[in-house]
A and B are shown apart, each in its own frame.
Chain A
Amino acid sequence: MIDWDRIGPALWQSTVETSYMVSVSMGLSVLLGVPLGVLLLLTAPDGLVPRRVVSTVVGGIVNAGRSVPFIVLLVLVAPVTRLFTGTTIGSTATIVPLTIAAVPFFARLVEASLREVAPGKVEAARAMGASTGQIVRSVLLPEARPGLVAAGTVTLIALISYSAMAGAIGGGGLGDFAIRYGYQRFDTAVTLACVVVLLVMVQVLQSAGDRLARRLAHR
């Protein structure tokens, strides 16, 4: 039998921590990932402002960021984490590696979504005398909105699973709770409770994301 009086408050606390980590790093990922995705698209050889060097260097960094397994990245960026937050333990500290992992991931998805916008629409805007900045703001981003929302949903869910992984090195949140109480103290009820909460989170976010993307797509 699950002893809710014992688990309840800690479970709630962990859920709040996970939500905090994921939402802050998601916010940062959008802030950094969208411009990065736009940059990747524009500077590509077939982009509006082809810049071979920029495209190769930025693309290389993004690929490097994506090729490091998250659990390794956690350890690898520990000095950066300490620089920003003064510690490597706890949910605030975990935001740094989460963001570093999610930005390149999201940037590639943003680039792919923007690439889906029919080239004719960009051409029409150029014919109207739109500058590159205006094309990005008035054509590419608004037209790619359904794809961007879908990309955001995928990233958000990846962040939830990453954040749980960060629990392995004391990152706080549901993963941390499951490992310390569920795994290390053989309290299967805790593990199960954490899994259920994560499952519900993912389901709710995915269907909300799908619904929003559908509403934005005027097809």
Chain B
Amino acid sequence: MITLRHIGKTFPATRRQAAVTALDDVTLTVDRGQVMGVVGPSGSGKSTLARIVNLLERPTTGTVTVDGTELTALTSARELNRARRGIGMIFQQFNLLDSRTALANVELPLELAGVGRAERRARAGELLERVGLGDKLGSHPAQLSGGQRQRVAIARALAPRPKVLLCDEATSALDPVSTASVLDLLRTLTEELDLTTVLITHEMDVVKRACDHVTLLEAGRVVDAGALGDVVRRPHSPLATRLLPHPALPAGDQVVELTVGGDGHDAVLTELIRRYAVQVAVVAGSVETLGDQRFGRLQLRVDGAPQDVRAALDYLAQSGAAEAPADRELAGAVA
């Protein structure tokens, strides 16, 4: 649905500062129906990346393709404006018009597209109802809370029935409760309306709650990317460490680290104990909910006869769930 190929973006030097390379050879694909989280520290280029998807910012190099249309190849402003109607966007600061009521704010994109008044009204009312603001149609943004304003902004972004929704730090100005409910709303809407969503954020919790795919940007480059379930199972990838922290390890223990959860890896621990004559102790562990799946990272001490321990560890290695920290001796102590 969204394909960015070899995107580079350099802001030319100004009187005040030297030229800045915000993005460097970024290639990224978001398939239909995915919720892609783009994370990274501030200054990593993630907001620039969001603005490049709908060409608010034109890339210096590379191509942007959304829903089969190569936006970077469009030459007329009219064509680009039409393409932008298929891409909704919400912002950290909501960017609602203070002079308009919630209903009139949601009507705005339809007005711009030339939709008639009655149809506009009906669609805007229906959307505000959908985001839980059916009783706030006549309120001005100043009369609404931050969470409510972002819901109006979501309704506004969805009014022209876009296929893609861009969220640029959409929850960064909200309190934790509003953040959670806005993220859940985004997730439900993505499913129900068959949207493809890109969620720009600096908070890993946002990715954990709302995304199914994730890309890590650092200094304008993609450092790590993948489906959430795959990424956590690569225990020493930069994202896995952020999504599912390595538990603190008690000193002096010889351990094996196991990542469990998601689909198909739940049974590993049970099987281990059932099949091998070893004693298994969990010495440390952390558990996280990622999307709608739960993942755990456990550190185990496996004790028993040397050949049993060896067999058990081989089994773990084969299962794909275990990976011993490279710098640690992987061996069970003989009782």
CA gap between A124 and B170 in the complex, in Å: 13
State whether A120 touches B112 (Cβ < 8 A). no
A210 at the interface (CB under 8 A from B): no
Classify the interface of chain A: helix, strand, loop or mixed: helix
Residue-wise, chain A 106-142 has the 8 Å CB interface mask toward B (1 for contact) of 0000000000001011011111111100100011001
CA gap between A138 and B87 in the complex, in Å: 20
Given contacts A123-B56, A124-B95, contact A129 B84 (CB under 8 A): yes
B261 at the interface (CB under 8 A from A): no
Point out the residues of chain A lying under 8 angstroms from B83, CB to CB: 129
B276 at the interface (CB under 8 A from A): no
CA gap between A217 and B100 in the complex, in Å: 10
A17 at the interface (CB under 8 A from B): no
A52 at the interface (CB under 8 A from B): no
Pick the contact of A218: B80, B88, B142 (CB < 8 A).
B142
State the Cβ distance, A139 to closest chain B Cβ, in Å.
7
Point out the residues of chain A lying under 8 angstroms from B100, CB to CB: 142
CA gap between A134 and B84 in the complex, in Å: 15
A219 at the interface (CB under 8 A from B): yes
Q: By the criterion of a CB under 8 Å from any partner CB, how many residues of chain A are at the interface? A: 22
Point out the residues of chain B lying under 8 angstroms from A216, CB to CB: 99
* A/B pair count, beta carbons within 8 Å: 67
Pick the contact of A130: B87, B88, B99, B112 (CB < 8 A).
B112
State whether A129 touches B113 (Cβ < 8 A). yes
State whether B141 touches A124 (Cβ < 8 A). no
State whether B98 touches A120 (Cβ < 8 A). no
Given contacts A129-B82, A145-B99, contact A124 B142 (CB under 8 A): no
State whether B98 touches A128 (Cβ < 8 A). no
Given contacts A118-B93, A138-B112, A218-B140, contact A131 B81 (CB under 8 A): yes
Chain B, Cβ-Cβ closest to A127: B89
State whether A128 touches B97 (Cβ < 8 A). no
CA gap between A121 and B88 in the complex, in Å: 14
A176 at the interface (CB under 8 A from B): no
State whether A131 touches B77 (Cβ < 8 A). yes
Chain A, Cβ-Cβ closest to B159: A128
Pick the contact of B160: A120, A128, A139 (CB < 8 A).
A128
State whether B111 touches A218 (Cβ < 8 A). no
Given contacts A142-B97, A145-B99, contact A219 B112 (CB under 8 A): no
Point out the residues of chain A lying under 8 angstroms from B99, CB to CB: 142-143, 145, 216, 218
Task: Enumerate A203-219 residues with CB–CB distance to B below 8 Å.
Answer: 216-219
State the Cβ distance, B76 to closest chain A Cβ, in Å.
11
Pick the contact of A143: B56, B88, B97, B166 (CB < 8 A).
B97
B225 at the interface (CB under 8 A from A): no
Residue-wise, chain B 124-140 has the 8 Å CB interface mask toward A (1 for contact) of 00000000000000001
Given contacts A138-B108, A142-B100, A218-B141, contact A123 B81 (CB under 8 A): no
* Residue among A121, A124, A125 with max Cβ neighbours from chain B (10 Å): A124
State the Cβ distance, B114 to closest chain A Cβ, in Å.
10
Interface residues of chain A, those whose CB is within 8 Å of chain B, are 118, 120-121, 123-131, 134, 138-139, 142-143, 145, 216-219
